[in-house]
Amino acid sequence: MHEYSLACEIFENVISIAHTNKALAVNSITLEIGRLTHVNPDQLLFCFDVLSQDSIAEGAKINVNFISPCGECECGYRGDAEISDNARCKDYPPLYEYTRLACPVCGKLLQLVGGNDLIIHTIDIEI
């Protein structure tokens, strides 16, 4: 399962940062999830809960911020890529299906930049 390996990666990162900072506990973690990542946060959080049992990250609150994709065009346009409702994932509407988008200025295809990443934005620890 995709979410499980991601949760493992996040967990290892969180624990290593917590150890480096001599943390007693991890209070909360803020993740930035690109809307094009196809990562279901519910599944991700569930996997993280299981992984973090009996660790200093057990019970940490996980906040999720969704990052909208941004589009770039050869005409110089750069901005949020507006996605129509039918491009939303059926099983999880905050996520988007990959879709081709036209530049609102010149009509050419936008290059999507961003919105594909999963980033650990902040970790709040107890020292």
Residue numbers belonging to the annotated binding site: 2, 73, 75, 103, 106
Distance, in Å, from the CA atom of 72 to the CA atom of 4, rounded to the nearest integer, reads 32
* Per-position x/- string for 90-119, each x denoting binding to Zn ion as judged by CB under 5 A, each - no binding: -------------x-xx-x-----------
CA 114-44-70 angle, to 5 degrees, is 10
Interacting positions 63-92 with Zn ion (CB under 5 A): 73, 75, 77
Closer CB to Zn ion, 4 or 77, in the complex? 77
Q: How far is the CB of 71 from Zn ion (least distance, A)?
A: 9
Q: Is 49 helix (H, G, I), strand (E, B) or coil?
A: helix
Binding site for Zn ion (CB under 5 A): 73, 75, 77, 103, 105-106, 108
